[in-house]
């Protein structure tokens, strides 16, 4: 894959919440300008921004996909976990986090569906995040016994209590599990 650059794309600066700046998801960051972040790697640059990376920039698995500002969604390099509760117990499923611009439906994008299928082949679903508290899980046919697409709406999702906001990060840092 050829080296990629953000160029004019600043979608992550708008879609992702930034706790240190008290910036909500889907709101423009006060430091966001037409040439990117005004405090990038300067004093006041938040640790969460420093640690965050766009999967489109870094991973070959997005080689056929449009730049985030053109697709209207940003794929996070850090996965999360969803928990499936049923009669047999609790199953943890890795999900790739996708922050979605309001009004966008990534499922209409054939590149996105192919990406979801590739992730499903390795056992991961997708978590489409519309805000920190609103998300839907997408499981492509390779993950489903019936070979169909499954979208679990936010009416069936319940956010887990998480010190970091990400269950995988909580596990890695030894944060106490949710109730």
Domain ranges in the chain are 54-173
- 3-state SS, residue 117: helix
Strand ranges for the chain from DSSP E:
32-33, 36-37, 73-75, 80-86, 89-100, 125-131, 134-139, 150-152
Per-position pLDDT tens, the chain of length 179: 678 888 888 899 899 988 888 988 899 999 987 777 888 888 888 888 888 889 999 888 899 999 999 999 999 988 888 888 778 888 889 999 999 999 999 999 999 999 999 999 999 999 999 877 788 999 999 999 899 999 987 665 555 555 555 555 555 556 665 54
Q: What b-and-e string marks burial along 56-81, b requiring 16 or more CB atoms within 10 Å of the CB?
A: bbeeebbeebebbbebbbbbbeebbb
Residue 128 φ/ψ, nearest 5 degrees: -85, 115
Please say whether the dihedral angle defined by the alpha carbons of residues 132, 133, 136 and 139, taken in this order, is positive or negative.
positive
What is the spatial distance between Cα 31 and Cα 173, in angstroms, rounded to a whole number?
29
Specify the pTM: 0.81
Pairing of strands 150-152, 125-131: unpaired
Contact 145, 152 (CB under 8 A): no
């Amino acid at each position: 894959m050829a080296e990629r650059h953000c160029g004019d794309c600043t979608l992550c600066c708008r879609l992702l919440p930034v706790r240190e700046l008290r910036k909500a998801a889907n709101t423009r960051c006060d430091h966001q300008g037409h040439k990117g972040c005004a405090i990038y790697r300067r004093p006041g640059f938040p640790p969460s921004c420093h640690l965050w990376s766009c999967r489109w920039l870094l991973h070959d698995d997005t080689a056929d996909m449009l730049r985030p500002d053109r697709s209207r969604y940003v794929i996070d390099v850090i996965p999360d976990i969803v928990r499936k509760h049923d009669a047999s117990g609790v199953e943890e499923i890795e999900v790739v986090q996708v922050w979605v611009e309001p009004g966008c439906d990534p499922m209409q994008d054939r590149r996105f569906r192919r990406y979801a299928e590739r992730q499903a082949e390795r056992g991961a679903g997708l978590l489409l995040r519309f805000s920190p508290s609103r998300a839907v899980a997408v499981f492509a046919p390779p993950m489903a016994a019936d070979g169909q697409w499954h979208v679990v709406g936010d009416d069936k999702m319940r956010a887990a209590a998480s010190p970091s906001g990400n269950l995988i990060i909580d596990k890695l840092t030894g944060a106490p599990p949710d109730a």
